[in-house]
Amino acid sequence: MLLSITKTSLLLAVACSSFAVAEEIITSDSYFYGDSPPVYPSPRGSGAGDWASAYVKAKAFVAKLSDDEKVNLTAGVTSTTACSGTIQGIPRLGFPGLCLNDAGNGLRGTNYVNSWASGVHVGATWNRDLTKKRGEYMGNEFRTKGVHVMLGPSVGPLGRVAEGGRNWEAFSVDPYLTGALIYETIEGVQSQGVATSIKHFIANEQETDRHPGTNDEGQYAEAVSSNIDDKTMHELYLWPFQDAVHAGTPSIMCSYNRVNNSYACQNSKLLNGLLKTELGFQGYVVSDWGAQHSGIASANAGLDLVMPSSDFWGHNLTNAITNGTMEASRLNDMVTRIIASWYYLGQESGFPGLGSGMPINVSQPHQAVVATRPAAKSTLLQAAVEGHVLVKNIRNTLPLKSPRLLSVFGYDAYAPSKLQLSQGFGFLEIKSPEAYMNGTQYTGGGSGGNSPAYIDAPIDALQRQAYEDGTTLQWDFSSQDPAVDYTSDACLVFVNAYATEGFDRQGLSDPYSDALITNVANKCKSTIVVIHNAGIRLVDKWIDHSNITAVIYAHLPGQDTGRAVVDILYGRSNPSGRLPYTVAKKESDYGGLLQPTVGGNDKFKLFPQSDFSEGVYIDYRAFDKAGIEPLYAFGFGLSYTTFDYSNLKVSKHNSRYSAYPPKASIIPGGNPRLFDSLVTIKATIKNSGRVEGQEVPQLYVSIPHGPKRQLRGFDKVSIKPGKSATVSFTLTRRDFSTWDANAQDWLLQKGQYNIYVGRNSRDLPLSTVLTI
Ligand SMILES: *[C@@H]1O[C@H](CO)[C@@H](O)[C@H](O)[C@H]1NC(C)=O
Ligand SMILES: *[C@@H]1O[C@H](CO)[C@@H](O)[C@H](O)[C@H]1NC(C)=O
Ligand SMILES: *[C@@H]1O[C@H](CO)[C@@H](O)[C@H](O)[C@H]1NC(C)=O
Ligand SMILES: *[C@@H]1O[C@H](CO)[C@@H](O)[C@H](O)[C@H]1NC(C)=O
Ligand SMILES: *[C@@H]1O[C@H](CO)[C@@H](O)[C@H](O)[C@H]1NC(C)=O
Ligand SMILES: *[C@@H]1O[C@H](CO)[C@@H](O)[C@H](O)[C@H]1NC(C)=O
Ligand SMILES: CC(=O)N[C@H]1CO[C@H](CO)[C@@H](O)[C@@H]1O
């Protein structure tokens, strides 16, 4: 691999200089040949790790297949179910086929299912156990409906671009937090015998120009290329995928964009190199819907399955074997990986019929009903509750205590029309205002949305609370400048910030909602703002208004949105969410990472280039580097109580460590020695306030020659007032290492590592120095 990089970068240098002289518009892809190092042949799945018995069974199965049957397994077909993708069955061998369906935050496009809290909301919970439980219940819904493969969860986009349209589908802009939560989700979902398909591999960091097509000038342009160096790839974007492979995902979905000018679904460095060699991935690579752009080249580069169907493969695969452009072993490997995944999850026995709960016509009988089983209820609600992040609370505004008069405003307070949204929010290009104006936003738009059994809107839950407390409610959901009863004890304003697949956002705030909030605050001395935000939402236009006394980022809670927010507002639940991203004081603080790369300059207008030249410095890593004070730091969130930190203790497990991980057989996830624990760190947290609450102690490390600090540990603990808890963080070799591109390995540098423990990335009362 090392050899090929050297050779191709030399080639690249030659190619660039000969063309660069003329500075003319690049019209041929050949200009970019060599940008992405070739890695061939495609590694065969070996049954490594806990895949051995699945591979034994799969090999025996594949040995019985005809060539036509093999070819049929490599692409989807249209079916009589509503599955987003279907592999047809082979009845003579008892293989029923596979149903793949959207998406990572719950089932989409069917009924009798639940709308779960979305990725960013789960990221804001910082709760591993809750994330795993959510996975179990979601996985069970997929199983009940006859869905073998959940198309998700997403860990990419990670959130490089603040306005990214799909950031909300994944957990956090931080790879460690995202990696930890994807791990738990996979364990939860797969405990139900349902496979996860982790998307989008990789560097799918913007929606703009995600597909090739006709540009504004009527010319055909390729999809955007994310140009990423090897170190950034490993330390940032690949990190959570590594955790996903380690957790045993049997499926990875390759993305629409190009990476180093080679389409992600035919990029041999990504698929053969990083994924199947370095990470030892034993499952199959499935194309995002319509992401295949070449025939045999994509097969040789490591693509195994094409969805929803293939315009390129079919009998061309067997032709290519006959004429020598593809090895027969490649086709066998593609099919073995798919069938091994079916065995790996134990789907060969007792699994409901393929898509049986999801007929195309929802009026047909035999719907598998899963909503809302009593066992799932508390997890559904708790996940909704814990993703709320309280960022401002002055003059004891919250929790509310039986107000006499409460006034409620904003287009986001009531339930949207459910028929219209029975499949979740669609791909709505909402430009200005950049808000969904027709009801409360409980999930984002596009294929990552989900389908609610019901929608318990904020106003519905407030009405129930008013009944209990004898409160009088006033409301006006349509005016931008509503009349306010001056006797109101408090005013609640509900707004949202919409985002969807297919489009990047138009900004991080919108004038309509900002004016609405300000208008209410001008007339109401205690104004509480609740924002259902599918991504970062700035509050600079009004946060210092003296009448705005409380602000909650309510993210995307799913169908229990109203119940959850009212539990928080009235103190039945103590807020414990923490921001999984940084909220800046102003848009320009995000610098070049505010907006997506749009088009190309003249030279590259047919090949839009997005250079990830900032390296690993995105979000808080970038703010720390540039010395920019955020409004709300990564990891920030208030509680109704306070927590004190003390007693930091660090213990190394050994006195000396090798620079590189000891050699070992690769298992899914890579070299297993990367996950050796090196250090345990403990701290004591005391609840110094008057009510019980959950704290999220966070551990950051400054790795020599790296970002100022990086998240490398977190926990969530419930502590009664006056009581203390000891939290313990175990850090692995990977947690302290940097990617050494020359050695092509993780390097543990000798030197001093600052360790910080505290409440968020900018409030770290405990620190010490660890010498390695
Ligand atoms: C992209 O190119 C950079 C060098 O410019 C290299 O470090 C990296 O490994 C390449 N990655 C891929 C996936 O081609
Ligand atoms: C392959 O798929 C096609 C289309 O569904 C079907 O007509 C054909 O019978 C299949 N071939 C085999 C050998 O199963
Ligand atoms: C084979 O490839 C050609 C050219 O890419 C394509 O037009 C054709 O549809 C393919 N055949 C099948 C059976 O997919
Ligand atoms: C071999 O077959 C494949 C698939 O039909 C085709 O794309 C390729 O051009 C053929 N190559 C040669 C050398 O015939
Ligand atoms: C769906 O099924 C219902 C009940 O069988 C039938 O009345 C309706 O026409 C069907 N709709 C479609 C689009 O097939
Ligand atoms: C705050 O609200 C009161 C009404 O309760 C209003 O009189 C006052 O002008 C408001 N303050 C500001 C700064 O708008
Ligand atoms: C789909 C839909 O009902 N859209 C409406 C949402 O609200 C805006 C603003 O009130 C209307 O213009 C849309 O027609």
Question: How many helices and strands in the chain, by DSSP H and E?
Answer: 18, 29
Check if 68 has its Cβ closer than 6 Å to any atom of ligand 3. Answer: no
Q: Residue 1 — very low, low, confident or very high, per pLDDT cuts 50/70/90?
A: very low
pLDDT at position 20 is 47
Ligand 6 pocket test: which of 518, 544, 547 has the largest number of ligand atoms within 8 Å of its C-beta?
547
CA of 630 to the centre of ligand 6 (A): 28
Say if residue 421's pLDDT is above 90.
no
- Point out the residues that are catalytic: 288
- The atom number, within ligand 3, closest to the CA of 316 reads 1
Say if residue 2's pLDDT is above 70.
no
CA of 315 to the centre of ligand 3 (A): 8
pLDDT tens column, 247-297: 999 999 999 999 999 999 999 999 999 999 999 999 999 999 999 999 999
Per DSSP, 604 falls in state G
> How far from chain centre, in Å, is Cα 668?
20
Residue nearest to atom 7 of ligand 2 (CA): 72
Residue nearest to atom 8 of ligand 7 (CA): 437
**The amino acid at 10:** L
Check if 487 has its Cβ closer than 6 Å to any atom of ligand 6. Answer: no
* Pairing state between β 698-702 and 752-758: antiparallel
Distance CA 757, CA 647 (A): 10
Distance CA 431, CA 445 (A): 14
Residue nearest to atom 10 of ligand 3 (CA): 312
pLDDT at position 12 is 39
Distance CA 407, CA 561 (A): 19
pLDDT tens column, 676-718: 999 999 999 999 999 999 999 999 999 999 999 999 999 999 9
Name every protein residue with a CB atom under 6 angstroms from any ligand 4 atom. Answer: 295-296, 316, 319-320, 323, 325
Q: Residue 23 — very low, low, confident or very high, per pLDDT cuts 50/70/90?
A: low
CA of 363 to the centre of ligand 5 (A): 6
Is the distance from CB of 186 to CB of 345 less than 8 angstroms?
no
> How far from chain centre, in Å, is Cα 249?
15
What value does the mean pLDDT take over residues 71-77?
98
pTM of the predicted model over 0.75 = yes
CA of 532 to the centre of ligand 4 (A): 52
For residue 310, the ligand closest to its alpha carbon is 3
Contacts of 47 (CB under 8 A, 6+ apart): 53, 54, 55, 56, 282, 340
> How far from chain centre, in Å, is Cα 165?
12
Cis previous bond, 372, omega within 30: yes
What value does the mean pLDDT take over residues 422-428?
75
pLDDT at position 15 is 39
User: Could you tell me the domains of the chain?
Assistant: 1-90+282-344 (3.20.20.300), 375-581 (3.40.50.1700), 641-771 (2.60.40.10)
Contacts of 6 (CB under 8 A, 6+ apart): none
Closest to 375 in 3D by CA, of 652, 89, 137: 137
Distance CA 179, CA 182 (A): 5
Residue nearest to atom 13 of ligand 5 (CA): 361
pLDDT tens column, 228-253: 999 999 999 999 999 999 999 999 99
Mean pLDDT of the chain: 94
For residue 407, the ligand closest to its alpha carbon is 6
* Pairing state between β 766-771 and 752-758: antiparallel
Q: Write a three-state SS string for 154-198.
A: ECCCCCCCCCCCCHHHCCCCCHHHHHHHHHHHHHHHHCCCCEEEE
Residue nearest to atom 2 of ligand 2 (CA): 72
Check if 525 has its Cβ closer than 6 Å to any atom of ligand 6. Answer: yes
Q: Residue 426 — very low, low, confident or very high, per pLDDT cuts 50/70/90?
A: confident
For residue 95, the ligand closest to its alpha carbon is 2
What value does the mean pLDDT take over residues 487-501?
98
Is the distance from CB of 109 to CB of 449 less than 8 angstroms?
no
Contacts of 270 (CB under 8 A, 6+ apart): 36, 201, 202, 254, 259, 264, 302
pLDDT at position 765 is 98
Residue nearest to atom 12 of ligand 3 (CA): 314
Distance CA 413, CA 480 (A): 14
pLDDT at position 127 is 99
Closest to 87 in 3D by CA, of 459, 337, 378: 337
pLDDT tens column, 209-227: 999 999 888 999 999 999 9
Edge-to-edge strand order for the sheet containing 225-227? 262-263, 258-259, 225-227, 609-611
User: Is the torsion defined by CA of 687, 689, 694, 698 positive or negative?
Assistant: negative
Say if residue 566's pLDDT is above 80.
yes
Q: How far is CA 621 from CA 173, 266, 634, 701, 710, in A?
A: 10, 31, 10, 12, 7
- The atom number, within ligand 7, closest to the CA of 437 reads 7
Distance CA 494, CA 771 (A): 49
Distance CA 337, CA 330 (A): 11
Residue nearest to atom 3 of ligand 5 (CA): 363
CA of 555 to the centre of ligand 5 (A): 37
Percentage of the chain exceeding pLDDT 70 = 96
pLDDT tens column, 345-399: 999 999 999 999 988 876 776 677 776 778 899 999 999 999 999 999 999 999 9
- The atom number, within ligand 6, closest to the CA of 547 reads 1
CA of 521 to the centre of ligand 6 (A): 7
Say if residue 560's pLDDT is above 70.
yes
Check if 214 has its Cβ closer than 6 Å to any atom of ligand 5. Answer: no
- The atom number, within ligand 2, closest to the CA of 77 reads 5
CA of 226 to the centre of ligand 1 (A): 10
Cis previous bond, 666, omega within 30: no
Say if residue 674's pLDDT is above 70.
yes
Distance CA 744, CA 202 (A): 19
Ligand 5 pocket test: which of 81, 363, 364, 367 has the largest number of ligand atoms within 8 Å of its C-beta?
363
Is the distance from CB of 163 to CB of 506 less than 8 angstroms?
yes
Is the distance from CB of 41 to CB of 300 less than 8 angstroms?
yes
What value does the mean pLDDT take over residues 108-131?
95
- Top-confidence residue, 418 or 77: 77
Contacts of 124 (CB under 8 A, 6+ apart): 386, 387, 388, 389, 553, 555, 577, 578, 579, 580, 637
pLDDT at position 522 is 98
CA of 147 to the centre of ligand 3 (A): 29
